[in-house]
Chain A
Amino acid sequence: MKLLEKIKKRKKSDIIFDVVVYILAILMFLVVAYPLYFIVIASVSDSTLVSTGQVLLFPKGFSLFGYQEIFQDSRIWIGYRNTLIYAVGGTFVNLLLTLPAAYVLSRQEFRARRPLMFFFIFTMFFNGGLIPTYLLMKDIGIIDTMWVFIFNPLTVNIFNLIITRTFFESTIPKEMFEAASIDGCSHFKFFWKIVLPLSKAVISVIGLYYLVWHWNDFFTGLIYIRDYNLQPLQIVLRDILLSNQVFQEGAGSGGTGGGYAQRYADQIKYGVIIVSSLPILILYPLIQKYFEKGVMIGSVKG
């Protein structure tokens, strides 16, 4: 009854407005969600039915052929292992550098604060470009090593630095350090014992941002890595998804010189997309509750 009254009270134009809004929202939902959903059902359906357009709403002719092939392929697992090492090691280094720097930049009393802020932000707008960076990496000898995934121009991500700095500024009251320093607390100790434990939210946000970035990093592998055994997952994915090198040298049965029909290749591709994105999909619900917070605290001050 109340609802009816509410609707009656509203203007006609507002009702039309609402209808339009909800139609647009549903359309957007479908446009984004359906391709993602389709990948999932296509990866477990019979490939003939998929390629003739019969799999649209539910999986048909359940088949795990694609996944079986993937699990027998050594390249994917080498890529997975490498990316895991790069992502964990890289994120650790990212945080090790970003968190203390952000803390220092959040201290109002630090005299070099403004010039240093400019020093960091400048790199967002101007860079040496691909070739000078490549030659530098070559000169210091980290091309074709795992270090290039960890130390590169994005090791300190300035966006993440700003988000973290803003978080420290808004959650660690100035008076807190003053009080602690009277008790003889140094900046080191204050940072380690007080700031870090109070900042779990922002550490999770930027830690996950960094982790996702490493997981999806294709560029570094493309430019700096030639050694087959060091290739990250994204390069392996490129070979399978785009260069159509579907398990030419896959271990075990089946891999007969890439001689599959296109439809088998497609089913493997759907499966590869799922398998490679799985870690992100698992992390996603964990990150999701943080990202609005992350963007919001980062956007309070430039």
Chain B
Amino acid sequence: MSESAKEVSQPTSISPKKKKNFFKTIVEDYQLWLLILPAIIVVIIFNYIPMYGIQLAFREYDFTAGLTGGEWVGLKYFEQFINSHMFWDLLRNTLLISLTTIIIGFPAPIILALIINQITWKKGKKILQTTVYLPHFISIVVLVGLLNVLLSPNNGLIGLAVSAFGFEDTNLLASVKAFVPVYVLSDVWQHVGWNSIIYLAALSSVDPQLYDSAKVDGASRWQIIKNVELPAIVPTIIILLILNMGTAISTGFEKIFLMQNSLNLPVSEVIETYVYKIGIISNQFSYAAAIGLFNTLINFSLLLLMNYIAKRFFKISLW
């Protein structure tokens, strides 16, 4: 059997379109299936079963019946959420934080990558890159801890700087006005370097001939950025923008949760932190699942919308 299989395999390498011997593919695939099976099982259990469990949002949670056994109640919990006094505040805070993060945080790594790419002093470039990538590896707890000690009124570094310039030393961490700026700017600080890597990779693949011909045409440095480098990274920009839109609303949970305190709660309570409090802390599983699903649906529709726009106008899409 194996001999005939070998005979079949040789012509396939010459003309791969020719259909393989059916038995041969089964034998081949059998080993491949075994290699990928553990990953498939884990993803089914831990990623797909929870998707199946979304039904909980439409059911009355029953401790004895498990994830999908309770009585069907339809949209009861969605109505409860939309009519609750928290709804508009949560939606506003969630959208405000995620959209500000995108508007400020998304262009920042592009600009950084363009700047790094202009630096001709190799050692300096390396030092800058090493430094700006580093904060990405700090844990969220440490980052928020860092904010707490640096921003603490009276003796924090930034508090001291603020009062040194003659401003009033306010507690930025407990301020309703400062929450979003502190959240977004610290986010940029932490991830701008890391996020620039992908643009640097895209820039490094620009055809050197394009640079040369631009120089022959007498282009200034700025014109080269505008006409050679930016167009080269547009596909990367669009793909990342789509990806970012789809996850913007849910990425901040841990950091927002850690930055929350009773004073900034009016602006810092977002859908995800609310789900945690309602579900995990107060055990209202069905209600929390409905709120969580609401969040997922916003995410997913933003993703679809962005993907549609990109496909329509730039002919680039995720699928």
Contacts and interface: CB of A to CB of B under 8 A. Distances in A.
B109 to A, nearest CB: 11
B258 to A, nearest CB: 6
Contacts of A13: 220-222
Contact of A100 (B35, B189, B198, B272): B35
A287 B197 CA distance: 14
A273 B96 CA distance: 30
A247 to B, nearest CB: 15
B234 interface: no
Contact of B53 (A135, A234, A262): A135
A111 B29 contact: yes
B35 to A, nearest CB: 4
Contact of B222 (A17, A25, A126, A276): A17
Interface string B153-197: 011010010001000000000000000000000000100010001
B111 to A, nearest CB: 9
A218 B255 CA distance: 10
Contact of B131 (A32, A129, A135, A212): A32
Interface string A239-275: 0011000000000000000000011001001101100
Interface of B: 6, 9-10, 13, 20, 25, 28-29, 31-36, 38-40, 42-43, 45-54, 56, 66-67, 112, 115-116, 118-119, 124, 127-128, 130-135, 137-142, 144-146, 148-150, 152, 154-155, 157, 160, 164, 189, 193, 197-198, 200-202, 204, 220-222, 236, 239, 246, 253-254, 257-258, 272, 275-276, 279-280, 285, 288-289, 292-293, 295-296, 300, 303, 318
Interface of A: 11, 13-14, 17-18, 21-22, 24-25, 28-29, 31-33, 35-36, 38-39, 50-53, 96-98, 100-101, 103-105, 107, 109-112, 116, 119-120, 123, 125-136, 139-140, 151-153, 155-156, 161, 175, 178, 181-182, 186-188, 191, 212, 215-216, 218-219, 222-223, 234, 237-238, 241-242, 262-263, 266, 269-270, 272-273, 276-277, 280, 284, 287-288, 291-292, 295-296, 299, 302
Per CB-CB distance, the 6 closest pairs between chain A and chain B, nearest first, are: A128-B50, A241-B145, A132-B53, A129-B292, A216-B139, A51-B155
Given A28-B115, A103-B35, A299-B236, 15 more contacts: A18-B118, A24-B115, A25-B119, A31-B189, A35-B150, A38-B157, A97-B38, A97-B42, A116-B36, A134-B280, A153-B47, A187-B31, A187-B35, A212-B137, A241-B144
